[in-house]
Structure formats: structure tokens, C-alpha cells
Amino acid sequence: MVDEIVETKDGLKLRKLVSLKTSTAKEYQDAMLNRVEYFKDENQKKSQFNSTVQNTVVQALSTILELKVQVDKSLGEENLKKVHDFIDQFLLLGL
């Protein structure tokens, strides 16, 4: 983007847009995505421990969710409803 500086009577300097390319928005978007990727990589280098812990937690949650899905499939709909009713009753008993 090309611009020129225009000074007003009050001494205020303003930038005046001279031309606008159609690819300007794409260039800004690419630059922003490159900056985000750069800082993501830099933060991962700084905090290897946090990345490892996050990956471990996410992997554990993924495994638990996959196990739950497999148990739900193996129980069948009727037994699953009975299990949910039992859990609801158990939780309500504690209140």
C-alpha cells in the first residue's frame, strides 16, 4: 500500500492513501498467520515442560473418551439407560 504524508494547517500529519492493491488484504493475512506461527513455535521452545504436560493430559482425556464410547457401544441402549438411571439416583442420594 502506497501512501503519502500530508500536513494540515494545524501541523497535524496525516497519511493519505494513494493506491490500494487487491492483494493487500491477502498479504496482511499471510503476514499475520506467519507471526502467529512464529510465536507459537517460540513459546513451545520456551516451555517444553508445559507442552509435554498438555500433550499428556490431552492424550489421557482422548483415551478416556474412547473408552467411554466403547463401553457405551458394548452395553447397548437399554443397559446404558439403566446405568445412567443408577448414576442419577446415586448422585441425587448425595444431595
The predicted structure's pLDDT at residue 2: 57
Global confidence as pTM: 0.40
Cα–Cα distance for residue pair 7/48, rounded to 1 Å: 51
Indicate if the alpha-carbon torsion angle 44, 49, 52, 55 is positive or negative.
negative
Lowest-confidence pick of 26-35, 43-52, 76-85: 43-52
**86 has pLDDT over 80:** yes
